[in-house]
A and B are shown apart, each in its own frame.
Chain A
Amino acid sequence: MSLTVDIHKQLGRFSLDASFRADGGTLGLLGASGSGKSFTLKCIAGIERPDRGKILLNGVTLFDSERWINLPPQKRRVGYLFQNYALFPNMTVRQNILCGIRWERDRARRAAELRRVVELLHLQGLEEQRPDQLSGGQQQRTALARILVSRPELLMLDEPFSALDEHLRDQLQIQMKKLLDTFDGDILLVTHNHDEAYHMCEKAAVVDGGRILGVRETELLFLDPGSVPAARLTGCRNISSAARRVGAYEVEIPGWGIRLATARPVKEGVRAVGVRAGAFSHTCPENRFPVSFTGHMELPFETQMCFRYEGQAETEGELWWSRPGRDGKKGLPQELGVPREDVLLLY
Chain B
Amino acid sequence: MRAWASRPPDSMDWYPLWNSLRIAAISSVIVFFAGIAAAYYVARLPRALKGLLDVVLTLPLVLPPTVCGYFLLLLFGNRRPLGIFLAQFGFKFVMTWYGGVLAAAVVAFPLMYRTARGAFESFDGTLAYAGKTLGLSNSYIFWRIRMPVCRQGILAGAVLAFARALGEYGATSMLVGYTPGKTATISTTVYQLWRTNDESGAFRWVMVNLTISAVVLLAVNLLERRNRRGTAP
Contact = CB atoms under 8 A, between A and B. Distances in A.
Interface of A: 42, 45-47, 72-76, 78-80, 82, 84, 86, 88-90, 99-100, 102-103, 130, 132-133, 146-147, 150
B60 interface: no
A130 B231 contact: yes
B34 interface: no
Contacts of B118: none
A86 B145 contact: no
Contacts of A89: 149, 231
B139 to A, nearest CB: 12
Contact of B133 (A73, A102, A103, A133): A73
B83 interface: no
Contacts of B90: none
Interface string B121-164: 00010110111111111001000010011010000000000000
B149 A76 contact: no
Contacts, number: 63
A74 B132 contact: yes
A100 B149 contact: no
A78 B135 CA distance: 9
A78 B126 contact: no
B233 interface: yes
Consensus secondary structure, chain B interface: helix
Given A82-B129, A86-B127, A86-B129, A99 B134 contact: yes
Contacts of B140: 102
A146 B145 contact: no
B117 to A, nearest CB: 20
Interface string B102-133: 00000000000000000000001011011111
Given A86-B124, A150-B134, A150-B135, A80 B129 contact: yes
B132 A102 contact: no
Closest 4 CB pairs of A and B: A86-B130, A73-B132, A90-B148, A80-B133
A240 to B, nearest CB: 41
Interface of B: 124, 126-127, 129-137, 140, 145, 148-149, 151, 231, 233
A82 B233 contact: no
Contact of B126 (A79, A84, A99, A102): A84
A99 B133 contact: no
A102 B149 contact: no
Given A88-B149, A90-B148, A99-B136, A80 B231 contact: no
B132 A82 contact: no
B129 A102 contact: no
A88 B135 contact: no
Contacts of B231: 89-90, 130, 132
B134 A147 contact: yes
A102 B139 CA distance: 14
A45 B127 CA distance: 14
B134 A47 contact: no
20 contacts: A42-B129, A45-B129, A45-B132, A46-B132, A47-B133, A72-B132, A73-B133, A80-B130, A84-B126, A88-B145, A89-B231, A90-B145, A90-B151, A99-B134, A99-B136, A100-B135, A102-B135, A102-B140, A150-B134, A150-B135
A99 B130 CA distance: 10
Nearest to B147: A90
A79 B133 contact: yes
A250 to B, nearest CB: 52
A99 B131 CA distance: 8
A74 B135 contact: yes
Contacts of A84: 124, 126
A150 B140 CA distance: 16
Nearest to B132: A73
Contacts of A132: 231
A74 B136 contact: yes
Contacts of B130: 80, 82, 86, 88
A43 to B, nearest CB: 12
A75 B132 CA distance: 9
Given A74-B136, A82-B129, A100-B134, 7 more contacts: A47-B129, A74-B133, A79-B133, A80-B129, A99-B131, A99-B136, A102-B140
A53 to B, nearest CB: 20
A88 B127 contact: yes
Contacts of A99: 131, 134, 136
Nearest to A84: B126
Contacts of B133: 45-47, 73-74, 76, 78-80
Contacts of B127: 86, 88
A103 B140 CA distance: 12
Contacts of B148: 90
A88 B149 CA distance: 8
Nearest to A73: B132
Contacts of B137: 74
A339 to B, nearest CB: 46
